[in-house]
Structure 1
Amino acid sequence: MDDTAPGPWATEHRLTIRAQTATRPGPLDEATGARWAEHRKTGLLLVACNCGFTTGWVPGAEVPALAELTEQHGGT
């Protein structure tokens, strides 16, 4: 066996947590004619890991506890 050869490729755990936002055109500023975008959080979160785990978009209260996620998928 060649101990100097590179090891096999493997995916590592790497958590990503995203908060969903919704956007809409804000009111028209009649003085300038500008319309700013308004943003707000929807309350949905998505947790995904490089290993393939994902929660999909779920209410924040349904996301597993950070301690549980860290135990299963490493640090955030």
Structure 2
Amino acid sequence: MSSFQVDDIWYGKTGTPYENVTAIIHAITTRNVQVVFDQVVSVDGLQLGGRVFTQKEFQRLFDHGQQLSLFDDN
């Protein structure tokens, strides 16, 4: 069973090219996750608005946890 769901929001991990990027899952297969980004990302000289990742690669680069903001109310 996959921990991925369409329309889930994941956050780029610190220290990766996707840091400060939000990814929304668009499609899921048994091996891959297709996402769209909330902004254009420059990776290896390419400007990306989305991408297909293997599920392992996606979990290594993105976190499903809530991204905290300094402006959130307590």
The two structures have a TM-score, normalised by structure 1, of 0.32
Q: Which protein is richer in helix relative to its size?
A: 1
Compare relative contact order (CA 8 Å, sep 6+) and give the higher one, 1 or 2: 1
Which one has a bigger Cα radius of gyration? 1
